[in-house]
Structure 1
Amino acid sequence: MSTLDAKKIEEAEALIGQTDSAANEYAKAGMYFKAATAYRIAKSFDKRKDCLLKAIDCYENNKSWFHAAKSYEQIILLAKETDKLSEVEDYANRACCLYQQHGSPEAAAAALDKAAKMTESKHPDLALGFYKRALAVVLIGDSTHQASEFASKVSRILVRLKKYEEATKALKKEISLNLQTKSYGQVGRLVVALILVQLTLEDYVDAKKTFKKWGNRCDPQEVNTLQNLLKAFDDEDPELATKMLASPFIRHMDVEYALLSKDVPLPKGNRQMTKNAVDNAAN
């Protein structure tokens, strides 16, 4: 143990020893929080977490919901540092509840967003839950622009996880939100993404309905791509379908949808051959 570590542990223990004489719960919480900071510098992770939890108890006893929530966010960061991401879910949800109780929906959504970004790579299912809850939180506050951002994250993770039935509902919700904010430039690409998901589900009828309902929101390039793609399925033409799915326009969509285009079951023909053609065209 270095001299600095020993000094910080001594400092933390001194602060903890003073908590019994604290003037009130808020002051006691502050002492525990300072002790946690000292333990952080000394890299004493378990003791740091214990102090943060005690600080949270004191903040909650004092009805200081915002400070309690901020302390939970510190534990979330600790979980990242110690590679214990499975612990993030409980603490992030607690932080969200406390921020809402304080009347700070923006902070609640931000805490969930941080937790989602932290877990998305290794635990996409966990991140999906955070983004869904963040979406619900901002919708309560009628923040449509922010809601559309979270809706986009929900849709993309659902596609990545191959939860296509749920992804169709999420994409329709995302389209609706973008229409409300008059973000028409986003709508066209979302229509393409939705049709790709529907074709992956081999739901050609719904794909045509989607184009009929929202195709007028697409730009000329999007319209041309979708018309030819749907025509390929209508005519059972795997070569045209392959060509459209490998088009530069689709290849340059968000990565989840660009990759999805390779999994769309092609009409008739030799599926493996045509899938290889898509891969070759994409490369």
Structure 2
Amino acid sequence: MANLPADAKVLEALPLYEKLKNEWNRKPPNIEKCDELLRSLKNLFAEGGFYPSDISKDTRGLLIARDTLEIGAQCAVTMGDIPAFERSLAQLKPFYFDLGFCLFLLEELELLPPKDIQNNLYLKHPVSLEQYLMEGSYNKVFLAKGYVPSPSSNFFMEILLNTIRDEIAYCMEKSYRRIPFNEAGKILSLSNTDELNRIAQKIMDFNFSHKVTEAEEHVRQADKYLKTSLTNWKPDLDSAINELEKAMSCYRIANSYDKCLEISLRNAELQLKKESKFFAAKSYEQAATCAQQMNDLPQSAKYFDKAAQLLIEGGQRDSAVILYERIGPVFQNFDRLLAIDFYVKGARIAEVDDKTHQASELYEKAALQSIRQSQNFTQTSELLEKCSHILVKMERYDRLNRILLYRILIKLFMDDFVAANNLFERFCQEYPTFAEWEEAQNIQMLIEAFEQDDPDLISQNCQRPFFLAIDNEFVRLLKRWIRPTATKRPQNGAAVESSSSGGNHSGISQTTTISTVKPLQLDEDDLR
């Protein structure tokens, strides 16, 4: 385009300026059309004659340029285009110093007279915000959102409030271990659940990435300590271990369990080089926990067992027993054989070390898992026998009676009522407390019901409150013998139960008696 005189350029720009002003004053304006007109006008301004530095006596060009750039700044705010807004501000500075928008950037305060700051609403608002921020009065900043001087200011207020919320959220993450969702919303002045979730996720992502970076730096430092040279011919194991432990902690916090597992195994190897079996065991335990978090339970079991073996080798036998007892429940629903193995290993160590209380409890736990595992009655019987021998040494007859009952029931579950009766008679002879036990009669009556091969009588005895109060694993098996009873109504309307038993064992009447026991409802698991 040929260079035109200043007056001609103004005349060319005037129709575009009028269109822009009319479009911008519409409610709402067409932002795309305004942006297109702004581009055309700025192209004209670039040719000269529209800025204070240009030599021209026509002030119309200056007014057109100023108004156009002001609209451009507000249009950029509406579009959320901060770089375009900043460019418009930079182009407006030569025209005047009264820049309310720019004060949101807190850069131009020193350029303005104090009197103007106090009296001009558009200047006073951002100045007050700066004061609130300096004081740390964030609640006043949140309240200030309700009286912004211009709708265009809302864009910058949202940026400011989001920044403040992020800062508060970072502080909350350090100050609280836990905080209710609604309380967090009050502190952040937020009721929007999605926005709260966004902030929480942002904090987590920041912390996780930061922790991973921190862990990687610790690993690099550990590698440096392990390097040897002509002047440093021996690796610094202590410093390397210290750095790896810090890396493990960072990876764990960042939920990077695969990396944490890898570093834990490296750390265990270094501990073994130092012949520190206790700390090597702790590293293997950490690796097992990471594998557990990754749902790799076979690998987890392997590392837990390795940790326990190292504790035993290092003379920390009590710690090994505690570890076996602690990890047993972890594997009960995954692999009961593993759980049984861990309980038995712990029990054997405790038994050798004369920790009778721990040993008896672990043998009992192993037995209860064994009876659940494909009804392995032989193994269960052996484990209960070990438990009873220990309880006799401890003279814990209150627990012994219950274990002896379980041993008798196991024989009944194996369809060997003769062996069950022999055990009952033997226990009565060997253990006076068992013979004097008030529940011994209930046990004898159940055995006699089996001798008579009477399903109804067996069912009736199994439903006695005493049997229904024992361990759930045994109750589950007892319930399989419970059957619905046939009832008939005499003329007086009372419900009676028909008994088909032929003898008069255990004091139960052979004649028709009133039913006092309600049959249990069997579930699918009991019927399998």
TM-score by length of 2: 0.49
SS at match of 1:43: coil
Highest relative contact order (Cα 8 Å, sep 6+), 1 or 2?
1
Distance 2:300 2:347 in 1: 18
Match of 2:464 in 1: 247
Spell out the pairing of 1:1-283 with structure 2 (5 A cutoff): 2-19=205-222, 20-21=224-225, 24-161=236-373, 162-215=375-428, 216-218=432-434, 219-263=436-480, 275-276=483-484, 281-283=519-521
Contact 1:52/1:71 (<8 A) preserved:
yes
5+ long unaligned stretches in structure 2: 1-203, 227-234, 486-516, 522-528
Match of 1:267 in 2: none
Q: How many residues get paired?
A: 273
Superposition RMSD in Å:
1.9
Distance 2:350 2:446 in 1: 36
Stretch moving more, 59-68 or 113-122: 113-122
Deviation of 1:38 after TM superposition, in Å, equals 0.6
Contact 1:192/1:222 (<8 A) preserved:
no
5+ long unaligned stretches in structure 1: 265-273
Deviation of 1:224 after TM superposition, in Å, equals 0.9
What amino acid maps onto 1:170 in structure 2?
A: L
Deviation of 1:122 after TM superposition, in Å, equals 2.7
Stretch moving more, 110-119 or 213-222: 213-222
Distance 2:205 2:456 in 1: 68
What amino acid maps onto 2:520 in structure 1?
A: A
Deviation of 1:100 after TM superposition, in Å, equals 0.5
Distance 1:25 1:141 in 2: 34
Q: Deviations over 1:176-214 (max 9, x none)?
A: 111111110011111221111111101122211211122
Q: Deviations over 1:252-273 (max 9, x none)?
A: 1010111121245xxxxxxxxx
Deviation of 1:220 after TM superposition, in Å, equals 3.3
Distance 1:276 1:160, change over 3 A: farther
Stretch moving more, 23-32 or 132-141: 23-32
Contact 1:30/1:55 (<8 A) preserved:
no
SS at match of 1:193: helix
Contact 1:117/1:127 (<8 A) preserved:
yes
Distance 1:222 1:79 in 2: 47
What amino acid maps onto 1:38 in structure 2?
A: C
Contact 2:277/2:313 (<8 A) preserved:
yes
Identity of aligned residues (%): 26
Contact 2:257/2:293 (<8 A) preserved:
no
Contact 2:381/2:410 (<8 A) preserved:
yes
More helix by share: 1
SS at match of 1:2: helix
Stretch moving more, 222-231 or 54-63: 222-231
Q: Deviations over 1:129-170 (max 9, x none)?
A: 111111112122121111001011011011111101111111
Contact 1:56/1:72 (<8 A) preserved:
yes
What amino acid maps onto 1:80 in structure 2?
A: Q
TM-score by length of 1: 0.90
Deviation of 1:50 after TM superposition, in Å, equals 0.7
What amino acid maps onto 1:212 in structure 2?
A: E
Which ranges of 4 or more aligned residues in structure 1 deviate by more than 6 Å?
none
What amino acid maps onto 2:468 in structure 1?
A: R
Structure number, greater radius of gyration: 2
